[in-house]
Structure 1
Amino acid sequence: MRQFYSLDLLAIMFSLGCLPLLFLPYLLSDWQWYGIAVILIILMLVVPSKLYCFLSIFVVFGLGFLWSTACSKQYLSSISPYIDKSLVVKAKIVNINTRQTATVVDPYYLSFSVFSVSEVMLSNNIPISVYWDKPDIPKSGQIWQLTLKTKVVHSYLNEGGFDSQRFSIANRSLLSAKLVDAKLLDSKSDLRQSIVDLALPYIDLFDYRGILLALAFGDRSQLDDSHRIVMKQTGVAHLMAISGMHILVVFGLSCFMVKVLLFFIPKRFIYFFVPIVIGWLCVLFYAWLTGFNPPTLRAILALSIWIYLRYTKHHISAWQKVNRIIALLLLFDPLMILSESFWLSCYAVISLIFLFDWLPLPKALKNKKRWYVLRLLHLQFGLTLLLLPIQFLVFQGVSSVSILTNLIAIPVISLFTFPSVLLALIFSVINCFSIALWFWLIADKSLQWLFFSLKWLNWLWLNIPSDFYWLSLLGWLGVVIMRTGLWHHFSITLLVIFAILVTPFFKQQHYCWRLDMLDIGHGLAIVIHDGKSAILYDTGANWEKSSAMERVIIPFLQWHNLNVQGIIISHQHNDHVGGLELLKSLYPKAWLMSSSYDLNNDYPCLAGNHIIWNDLTFNVLWPNKLVEYAQNEDSCVIQVTDGHFSVLLTGDLERNQEYQLITKYRDQLASTILQIPHHGSSTSSSYAFLNHVKPVKSLASTSRYNPWKLPSNKVIKRYQDLHLDYYVTARTGQISLFFNKHTWKLKNMRGEIKPRWYHDWFGSLPIYE
């Protein structure tokens, strides 16, 4: 037992050694890495043998740290030479094709594995995601020659927003490219594509085509948006992503079918491990069919380790198995620790073990089949409570009906839909038309019934502000208190803990007011707030399938629990007004100000008008008249002031209007902070205007890869010539200004708010390319 205990302790220390990868502001340099390695070696040589036990713990922690940082640097160094380049490559398609039309209406991303660059063979293939906008429909296994303009995934960095850089590094998909030209070299597709081609004629017949593709082949690209929303808001989205549950269903179903077949085989040919081996091979085949995505790989590795431990008669607890599996997973790929799906999987398994160890059902109920529903309720309710911390952290909210919807969805998916999909795949491949169609129909009808139930039960999604995350620990505390009876002897301590958890209700802001320029790519969205209510200046762009409002602004508002009381629109170009309708639908009581009489303003944006909000005054400086459709020159220019500090918001103001403002206001234009006009276009930010505003800091909102090359070199030179500090969201991420009565300070996401190595500026191109 002592040996096993030591092994488990070492596994824990190795996992903890990988944990700093989440928080490091930068990766170790080569000399730092080798320095730590030398120190560990010296310690092993000079420390007395009596201290070897303690030393081994320290060394394994150090090895975990060195291994995780080395793998991270190795991945970045393998793709860094190819970022922001024009390349001619030969690559093999990784994606299966689930599109059967002759022409593709919407461009999409395809995953390639590059094995040759400029006719030079690579020692290791490089994964790359290519934006495919050609009419050709590539198929898995084909080899293409591609002319690419490469770039790197560059995340919008905002509080409460999705971190695409971290996600891409965790999945080793940081490198992407725009397609310039493509030439097919080998049209032969692989076995995966052949299986897909046999199943697609069936799947295309059904309404829930996107979900059937997700369950059969792991392709979630064609999920219907309405289905995505319903699944997220009811807390069942995890059931449609291939993960541990699906792997276990495949394993269990395969073992069961093999055991049935063994009844017809002579006993001398039957071995107890045959169902296990065949089941494992079936799991491996299914994982290959779905593309070996990271959650599937983790599940297979975990299942393999479990089978090994189970059948080598290692009598260890569930905690020990999970501990060792996590350590081996991180040894296999330490970048997993950046993956939210990895944390969700591990956390869910740990919660299950904790629930059954600390809050088991009474034995009288455990062994009675008629109490199945009660056992299921115990499991689902307990899991919901224990999963709250990870739910709040990853999804910034929780479904109010997730207990009920999962009680319905898990049995339907695991007992009807998914087994039907697997059997339908088998009969589709062997061309049993009627049987295959029957199983696809069962899968589709089960989804139809499930979504009917989910839509009926979709009552409320609860968004949780960041300040209230500590409350999510109440579930864990409740279980511990119930099991240990702590209230008998530590009631005062428990009251103190509870008081700490509810402190967000009484939290005081450390600033009087705050301004955030959000990182939304090309566009503008500025939030002015006091920690409770907010006014927005512009609402970002609306895209084909999403918007900056949906992806960035609303998550930010919910993260800070802000109620929008007012909306100011500078002008009516899409990158400034695109999210207005969605914002108005969420905050119908918010007043509206703009320089267009076509937008049904509550307050017209006319020079000379002003609004007092809390302790701030919003003085309108421009325009002099309202228009039907507001252009750049009609931008609503507002000076926000608290009496000590001021911010000049300019929208996309042009040079001619800058001169008119100088003529009219002169020294009144002086402001502490300037929103750089027109994203740093050379048609704005004249020397005369900057000399009159005299900003201490200037802020511009742009995207890294914008086609207008903003901010322009001419404008940057003007700010440098006048010794004016400027910040660009493409470089810094979200820019936040905190104002008190007599002081103010500036922070940005990449520099001060959340500095992480995976938030670095990868590649060499300047902002505008």
Structure 2
Amino acid sequence: MERSCLLCFITSLIILYLPFSWLVSAWLLIAFCILLLIGVVAIVWRKFLSIGKAMLVIALTGLWCIATTTTLIKQNQMLHTLVGSSQSAKIQIEKVLHQGEYQTAIALLQFAPTQPNYRFYITWQVDTALQAGQVWQGKVTIKPIAARLNEGGFQRQKWLYANRIVGNANVKQAKLIADKPQLREHLLRFTEQKLQGQSSVGLLLALGFGEKAYLSHSLLQLFQQTGTAHLIAISGLHIGLMMLLGLLLGRSLQYLLPTQWITPTFPLICGGILALSYSYLADFSVPTIRAITALTLLLLLRFCRCYLNWWQLYLRTITILIVCDPLMLLSDSFWLSATAVFSLLVWHTLLPLSAWQWRGKPLSQLGKGRYYLLTLLHLQIGLTFLFTPIVLLFFDGFNLQSLLINLWIVPLFSFLLIPGILFSIFTFDLLHSWQWCAYLAENSIKWLSYFQDSWRDVAMREGQWLTILGLLLGLLWSCYALYLQRQLPTNNHNQLVAQLQAKKLTFHADLLASTKILQRAIIGFAIVLMWQIALLSYGYYQQWRTLWTLEMLDVGQGLAVLLRQNDQGVLYDSGAAWSGGSMAELEILPYLRRQGVRLESLILSHNDNDHSGGAETLLRAYPNAQLLTSSQVMYAEKAPLACVQGKTWQWQRLRFTVLAPTAIVPIARNQHSCVLLIDDGNYRVLLTGDLDRSNELRYLANFPTVDILQVAHHGSKSSSSETFLRKVQAKVALISSGLANRWHFPHQEVLQRLAVRQMQVANTGWDGQIIIRFMRDGTYQIEKQRTALTVWFNQLQNGGLLEK
């Protein structure tokens, strides 16, 4: 059975991460059908039975995953004909994601009474707060499933498909036609009214209903950077807590019942009901479904008096989840939950608490309170050690005091705050309990804020080194544990004791995992360790053969070009900003930190928002960075250096020359763009900002022939004149634009001009982040984040083709 579960998991993982052309290939479908036929024949003939079962599992899993993904893709392609158009639709709100100036939600859209409902991600600027259960009739503008794509960044298209969302839509105007809230929505709205004016309303609603729409960005960042983000996502910890409270409640009620009515199943039923009720309040979100699935399986085993060890239960739960929804493998929350549980199981298997004794007695005899604290400490140490590489992978950093933080905040939330919140919900604020919960929540936030400074950003390469160190320690411990096991007598289990503290704390090797399990652990650690070493070695090799890189980040309708040498960087423009955020916060800063790049200079071509919006954020993050611009505008109280014609400087192996403008202006617009020529002795790059046609001709004599050209003004037809293109004779043209932007950049006229000049065109809207590596051997390589071999969910769907 375990083998079948593993085959199901591996097959699903492979299918869901295939390129688009492979996923929809008829050959793949035929291969699985043949495999299915062979498996059925082998089982019917009862020859090669185990191989036949394996083939059957692989075939059925593969066909199910293909059917699930292609259904979503076909829906997306059907809606592609509506992209850019305004459509009348009935809008049924399923889940509100964000409340603010712009509200976002997941909604079902129906364009005609005879058509099915399609799940959309909607953006809406409306004064009335959206509520789940509302039905609106209005006009929507359809946008494609497309998102920014930078190396190592958040994959929004993946998140959309994981939630079975097949399109984006902007709601222009709508009228409320129905409001039929269910019991959960009634409770949520009542709670919102009770908590009006409370600063901790976002946290309380997140813990009570799983609603994160009211959580501020700063609060989300606080929980993430203190290593406690798992507390505000209702998942296994919370559902398990409700099960425990239900057990205690059921056991207490049994004291009031006649003896003949007392059964062992009654507390289990009470626990299951309370856990299910909490899942309902959380709207049966994906994390709660995972937890309820595991809990249901555990209860069924208990009722049927069957037994599975924790590893068997884990594998079966994962398999059931995949069978119910293969797209769950695209969810980051699934991987965080699955790897957290996996880490705990590995820790419990290789270093169980039961193997330790105090003065010759098991630790369980120290008393329930002490043993609970020791168990919590043991689990937290295991999570800190084994789960930190996963945290680094998803969050690019960790908190040095996360172990200490979780030791006090997990019990606080588990036994005080969350039970108090549920009591307040189910009793409709009996005894003004919401005030007590708000007081506790506000103080929890205050206490957590003291630890936020302990967060440390970790570059990807540093994270790889830490992961290798952890894997090496795990491998060494497994080898040592196997050595201890083999030292035990064969015919009896005399204790082999390792004295650790003056003969008080002892470790008993005979209580470790079996030799077979330890051998598997050694093989597992060794394989992952070699894989990590190979990745790290390739990274160092790539760094050695690359002299410098030019990286055009995907910042939507804006510009950000990073020049990188020896982990130092110069950034040309900083993307856009808006009320409450910027591209610097979302894309540029995370990328710099992830790559371990120290920003030395920020050059702003001009002062338009889509080029200078992130300057304040970047200069605060890198206060020692120089600011160069063609205007007198200050950012982050930093006086800019002049970017004016004739200025030159050397930065490592690169020589910078300013070709335009001729003078500094109070506020720089398109025509005042700081135009830079970058020369490494072999290749020349021209960065033009938003330079317009008239100024291209004005400075035409200054422009040399170049190899790489940043196409001005995102490909607008007001720039990149034929005369200018003939003068620079570039081989590669780079365009930074947002996909399906309202200005329709890049214009077809500009693309035709570039095609006439036989330039190789790369556009961030199509290709995601673009990296040009200038190699030690005198060549250059162009890398794109979105190619024909990119996984299917990151490609742009237009009849199955990349949209170019």
After TM superposition, the score normalised by the length of structure 1 is 0.91
**Matched letter for residue 118 of structure 2:** I
Partner residue, 1:142:
134
Q: Aligned to 1:513, what secondary structure does the other structure show?
A: strand
Residue among 67, 79, 82 paired with 2:79: 82
- Quote the offset at 1:502 in angstroms: 8.0
Q: Separation in 2 of the partners of 1:747 and 1:448?
A: 48
- Quote the offset at 1:513 in angstroms: 0.5
Instruction: Tell whether 2:89 aligns with 1:63.
Output: no
Seen in structure 2, the aligned counterparts of structure 1 residues 186 and 455 have a Cα distance that, compared at 3 Å, is closer
Residue among 288, 302, 313 paired with 1:296: 288
Q: Separation in 2 of the partners of 1:768 and 1:478?
A: 47
Q: Separation in 2 of the partners of 1:182 and 1:359?
A: 59
Partner residue, 2:736:
701
Partner residue, 2:592:
557
Query: Once structures 1 and 2 are overlaid, which stretch shifts more, 199-208 or 395-404?
Result: 199-208
Partner residue, 2:487:
none
Q: Separation in 1 of the partners of 2:425 and 2:728?
A: 68
**Matched letter for residue 647 of structure 1:** V
Partner residue, 2:378:
378
Partner residue, 1:280:
272
Instruction: Tell whether 2:523 aligns with 1:485.
Output: no
Q: 1:17·1:64 contact (CA, 8 Å) conserved in 2?
A: yes
Q: 2:389·2:467 contact (CA, 8 Å) conserved in 1?
A: yes
Seen in structure 2, the aligned counterparts of structure 1 residues 701 and 314 have a Cα distance that, compared at 3 Å, is same
Q: Separation in 1 of the partners of 2:173 and 2:217?
A: 31
Q: Separation in 1 of the partners of 2:396 and 2:797?
A: 28
Seen in structure 2, the aligned counterparts of structure 1 residues 579 and 142 have a Cα distance that, compared at 3 Å, is closer
Q: 1:17·1:63 contact (CA, 8 Å) conserved in 2?
A: no
Instruction: Tell whether 2:156 aligns with 1:120.
Output: no
Q: 1:708·1:768 contact (CA, 8 Å) conserved in 2?
A: no
Partner residue, 1:38:
33
Q: Aligned to 2:339, what secondary structure does the other structure show?
A: helix
Partner residue, 1:4:
none
**Matched letter for residue 314 of structure 2:** V
Residue among 762, 766, 769 paired with 2:797: 762
Q: Aligned to 2:88, what secondary structure does the other structure show?
A: strand
Instruction: Tell whether 2:473 aligns with 1:461.
Output: no
Seen in structure 2, the aligned counterparts of structure 1 residues 273 and 473 have a Cα distance that, compared at 3 Å, is farther
User: For 1:331-385, what per-residue CA distance to the aligned partner results, in whole angstroms no more than 9, with x for missing partners?
Assistant: 1111111111111111111111111121123133343233654443322122111
Query: Once structures 1 and 2 are overlaid, which stretch shifts more, 57-66 or 396-405?
Result: 57-66
Q: Separation in 1 of the partners of 2:536 and 2:4?
A: 37
Q: 1:98·1:200 contact (CA, 8 Å) conserved in 2?
A: no
- Quote the offset at 1:610 in angstroms: 0.7
Q: Separation in 2 of the partners of 1:267 and 1:317?
A: 32
Q: Separation in 1 of the partners of 2:403 and 2:2?
A: 34
Q: Separation in 2 of the partners of 1:640 and 1:488?
A: 60
Q: Aligned to 1:418, what secondary structure does the other structure show?
A: helix
Q: 1:532·1:563 contact (CA, 8 Å) conserved in 2?
A: yes
Q: Separation in 2 of the partners of 1:589 and 1:136?
A: 44
Partner residue, 1:516:
551
Partner residue, 2:783:
747
**Matched letter for residue 106 of structure 1:** E
Q: Separation in 2 of the partners of 1:98 and 1:660?
A: 48
Matches within 5 A, 1:531-610: 531-599=566-634, 601=639, 603-610=641-648
Q: Separation in 2 of the partners of 1:87 and 1:363?
A: 70
**Matched letter for residue 424 of structure 1:** S
Seen in structure 2, the aligned counterparts of structure 1 residues 669 and 765 have a Cα distance that, compared at 3 Å, is farther
Residue among 342, 345, 358 paired with 2:337: 345
Q: Aligned to 2:577, what secondary structure does the other structure show?
A: coil
Seen in structure 2, the aligned counterparts of structure 1 residues 693 and 325 have a Cα distance that, compared at 3 Å, is same
Q: Separation in 1 of the partners of 2:263 and 2:161?
A: 44
- Quote the offset at 1:554 in angstroms: 1.1
Query: Once structures 1 and 2 are overlaid, which stretch shifts more, 450-459 or 567-576?
Result: 450-459
Residue among 646, 667, 671 paired with 2:684: 646
User: For 1:596-643, what per-residue CA distance to the aligned partner results, in whole angstroms no more than 9, with x for missing partners?
Assistant: 133355642111111101111011100111111111111000011111
Q: Separation in 2 of the partners of 1:740 and 1:601?
A: 36
Structure 1: tracts of 5 or more residues without a match: 1-6, 100-104
Q: Separation in 2 of the partners of 1:291 and 1:540?
A: 37
Q: 2:38·2:55 contact (CA, 8 Å) conserved in 1?
A: no
Partner residue, 2:669:
631
**Matched letter for residue 127 of structure 1:** R
Query: Once structures 1 and 2 are overlaid, which stretch shifts more, 460-469 or 239-248?
Result: 460-469
Partner residue, 1:266:
258
Q: Separation in 1 of the partners of 2:453 and 2:77?
A: 47
Q: Separation in 1 of the partners of 2:802 and 2:650?
A: 37
- Quote the offset at 1:165 in angstroms: 0.7
- Quote the offset at 1:720 in angstroms: 2.3
- Quote the offset at 1:591 in angstroms: 1.6
Partner residue, 1:3:
none
Q: 1:250·1:282 contact (CA, 8 Å) conserved in 2?
A: yes
Q: Aligned to 2:4, what secondary structure does the other structure show?
A: helix
**Matched letter for residue 145 of structure 1:** Q
Q: 2:249·2:270 contact (CA, 8 Å) conserved in 1?
A: no
Partner residue, 1:613:
651
Residue among 359, 365, 368 paired with 1:367: 365
Query: Once structures 1 and 2 are overlaid, which stretch shifts more, 575-584 or 192-201?
Result: 192-201
Partner residue, 1:528:
563
Q: 2:123·2:171 contact (CA, 8 Å) conserved in 1?
A: yes
Q: 2:770·2:783 contact (CA, 8 Å) conserved in 1?
A: yes
Q: 2:39·2:55 contact (CA, 8 Å) conserved in 1?
A: no
Q: Separation in 2 of the partners of 1:214 and 1:678?
A: 43
- Quote the offset at 1:200 in angstroms: 2.0
**Matched letter for residue 72 of structure 2:** Y
Q: Aligned to 1:95, what secondary structure does the other structure show?
A: strand
**Matched letter for residue 748 of structure 2:** N
Q: 1:711·1:768 contact (CA, 8 Å) conserved in 2?
A: no
User: For 1:572-593, what per-residue CA distance to the aligned partner results, in whole angstroms no more than 9, with x for missing partners?
Assistant: 1111111111111121221221
Q: Aligned to 1:206, what secondary structure does the other structure show?
A: coil
- Quote the offset at 1:265 in angstroms: 3.1
- Quote the offset at 1:505 in angstroms: 10
Residue among 159, 168, 175 paired with 1:183: 175
Partner residue, 2:491:
none
Query: Once structures 1 and 2 are overlaid, which stretch shifts more, 358-367 or 323-332?
Result: 358-367
Partner residue, 2:158:
166
Seen in structure 2, the aligned counterparts of structure 1 residues 305 and 473 have a Cα distance that, compared at 3 Å, is farther
Q: Separation in 1 of the partners of 2:268 and 2:374?
A: 31
Partner residue, 1:216:
208
Seen in structure 2, the aligned counterparts of structure 1 residues 249 and 177 have a Cα distance that, compared at 3 Å, is same
Instruction: Tell whether 2:78 aligns with 1:94.
Output: no
Partner residue, 1:72:
69
- Quote the offset at 1:315 in angstroms: 1.9
Q: Separation in 1 of the partners of 2:96 and 2:603?
A: 46
Q: Separation in 2 of the partners of 1:371 and 1:178?
A: 55
User: For 1:730-759, what per-residue CA distance to the aligned partner results, in whole angstroms no more than 9, with x for missing partners?
Assistant: 11000000002410111100018x711111
**Matched letter for residue 31 of structure 2:** I
Matches within 5 A, 1:23-34: 23-26=17-20, 27-29=22-24, 31-34=26-29
Query: Once structures 1 and 2 are overlaid, which stretch shifts more, 53-62 or 583-592?
Result: 53-62
Partner residue, 1:684:
719
Q: 1:564·1:587 contact (CA, 8 Å) conserved in 2?
A: yes
How many correspondences in the alignment?
Answer: 743
Partner residue, 1:671:
706
